[in-house]
Amino acid sequence: MSDRDRLVDRGVISFEQAERFQGDATPDKAGGPRTVEVLAYIGAIGLFIATVALVAKVALPDDPLLGLLTDDFDNISGGLVALLGAALVFGTGYQFAGREGAVKRGSGFMLLAGWALASIGFGLLLFDLDIEDFTPIVVLIPSAAMATIAWMRIRSVPTQLALFAVAVNLLSATLILIQVEERIELSEILFTAALGGTPSFGSWISHAANLALGLAWIWMARTGAIRPRNTAMFIGSVSASIWAFVLYGTDDNWLILVGVLALSLLWAATQWGSSVLGAIGTIGLVLVIIQVMVLVYEEGPGTDEFILWFGIAGGLAVVGMWLLARTGESGTPAAMAPEPAPMPTTTSTEI
């Protein structure tokens, strides 16, 4: 891995900035790296949709919903078709993942699409497997192996998404194995949804465990165990925030946890130098304020309440920004700070 790639991996610079170290960006020639990247996106999405449609045609009867509810479908044929599509897409992405720049990014997306098709295929082939609480983990093993291979081949945004999806499924399977949660069949979920009900996806313990997984993902990004750093920060903070609000949906008292999480993300943003955490924490804090307003005003907050609550909060923040920006960390006015050294004039590259 080159020095530029390491800087991108750690979230110090973006991949566009890394490429511009070599000179100003120029239009891609016909058949150049950017063209390959675009073709990779189109090819991955096109083959994914076509493969899923072919799986449905091969596996499901004339009435797909009835077939799923009654287990009357050819899951073996459907699984084999999905794996054939996965082999083509995943294999292509793996082949060219060792390249640089745009080709590498396109390959990462193909690895994600191939992993998704493989997950469908393995799920269908192992659909009839019944070894009680061990079933979810055993079904997950093949797709987990592929996600790990993809991420080890190229640490990119798409492959990290696949890895995180596996982590979420592994957590769910583990909770089922230790009998904290009960296994929910796909047919039960579809039947409940068809009747207009809301399927159950676990208790508050499951929600709290998923929140903890999001926080762990942030910490692994902080320690360098998961790369790219900014992607891991985003995935972990968004996931943790979502599950915190899911907990709040089960009991109003969880709003305290949501508020603490939002403030913790803002604190981490200042200590770890992460704009991603700052953005997600700010969004979470805004949503917390709105929820508090909903609880305070029985008939719901109106425009006057929004003006008051957010006007005070925003005004205080702006005053604080003025004071701190003008003063600086050392207490010396920013205007008196020494001017930075001039940039080298040997190149016109902008970072």
- Extract the tokens encoding 198: 């809301």
- Extract the tokens encoding 214: 């999001």
CB 150 within 8 A of CB 90: yes
Cα(272)–Cα(253) distance, rounded to whole angstroms?
29
pLDDT at position 299 is: 83
pLDDT at position 31 is: 72
Identity of residue 12: V
Three state DSSP letters for 198-222: CCCCCCHHHHHHHHHHHHHHHHHHH
pLDDT at position 5 is: 61
Q: What is the pLDDT along the chain (351 residues), one digit of tens a residue?
A: 556 566 666 656 555 555 555 554 556 666 788 889 999 999 999 999 999 999 988 888 666 556 555 566 788 999 999 999 999 999 999 999 988 888 999 999 999 999 999 999 999 999 888 888 899 999 999 999 999 999 999 999 999 999 999 999 999 999 999 888 877 665 555 555 555 555 566 788 999 999 999 999 999 999 999 989 999 999 999 999 999 999 999 899 999 999 999 999 999 999 999 999 999 999 999 999 999 999 999 888 899 999 999 999 999 999 999 988 887 655 545 444 444 444 444 333 232
Mean pLDDT rounded to a whole number for the chain? 83
- Extract the tokens encoding 241: 């925030």
| Total-model pTM | 0.82
CA 71 and chain centroid, separation? 32
pLDDT at position 226 is: 92
**Angle, CA 152 vertex, CA 150 and CA 158 arms, to 5°:** 45
pLDDT at position 169 is: 93
- Extract the tokens encoding 209: 């465990």
